Structure 1
Amino acid sequence: MKTNTSINTQEAQRIAKRLLNHWKHKFEVSESDQLMSIFMPEATVEMHIHPDHLEVVLVTEKEDYQHLQKVIIDHLDRMAQQQFEVTWSAPH
């Protein structure tokens, strides 16, 4: 199952990097200029860096994927020190 959201921000690189650094002690991560990935036991979070937004993709087989979506956005809010209003795509 895959779902995604787009966060309007001029600071996509900084926010994604902060989240990657926050979780790298707990999960395996990978990083490039345009893509940062976090590999959790039951999910993968991909953060695609764009000049005017951050695209977040969640890939998981968990039934409770909405909980993961909330955890990801809560952490991104903390990393950015602001509240993002997001709408996730329907799972596919």
Structure 2
Amino acid sequence: MKSITQIHTAEGRRIGKRLLNHWKHKFEVEETASAFFIPFPDAKIFLYPKETTLDVSIEGHEEVDFARLEQVVINHLNRMAQQEFDVTWQHIN
């Protein structure tokens, strides 16, 4: 299962990089030219910075508590950006 959202911001790379650095002491994070990857114990978080958005994807098994992970991820992104994003998550089976 997958949960995705799109955050409208021109600072997607900076925000994603801050979150990657924040979690690198807990997880084996990865950075490529086009994405940031954070492997949680029960799910995978992908951040794709674009010119005007930061695309976020959470991938995991059906038994993963997606609502909790979505809240954790957006709360941390809000903190890294020092602003509140209004997002809508879409769920894909």
2: CA distance between counterparts of 1:7 and 1:39? 20
Supply the distance in 2 between the matched residues of 1:91 and 1:65 (Cα, whole angstroms): 11
| Number of equivalenced pairs | 92
Give the letter aligned to residue 86 of structure 1.
V
| Structure 2 length-normalised TM | 0.95
Q: 1:86 aligns to what? A: 87
Shift of residue 63 of structure 1? Answer: 3.6
Q: Does the residue aligned with 2:29 lie in a helix, a strand or coil?
A: strand
2:42–2:64 CA contact under 8 A, matched in 1: no
Structure 1 runs not aligned, ≥5 long: none
| 1:51 paired to 2:25 | no
SS in 1 for 2:91: coil
1:90 is paired with a residue whose SS is strand
Q: Which residue of 1 aligns with 2:32?
A: 32
Q: How does 1:50-69 map to 2 (within 5 A)?
A: 50-61=50-61, 62-69=63-70
Q: Does the 8 Å contact 2:3/2:90 carry over to 1?
A: yes
1:33 and 1:49 in contact (8 A); partners too: no
**Aligned partner letter, 1:33:** A
For residue 76 of structure 1, report the CA deviation from its aligned partner: 0.1
For normalisation by structure 1, the TM-score amounts to 0.96
User: Post-superposition, which runs of at least 4 consecutive aligned residues in structure 1 deviate over 2 A?
Assistant: none
Aligned to 2:30, the other structure's residue is in SS state strand
Could you tell me which residue of structure 2 aligns to residue 8 of structure 1? Answer: 8
CA distance in 1, matches of 2:48, 2:41: 20
Aligned-residue offset at 1:34: 1.1
In structure 2, C-alpha distance between the alignment counterparts of 1:38 and 1:32, rounded to whole Å = 12
TM-fit CA distance, 1:32: 1.2
Mark the runs of 5 or more structure 2 residues left unpaired by the alignment. Answer: none
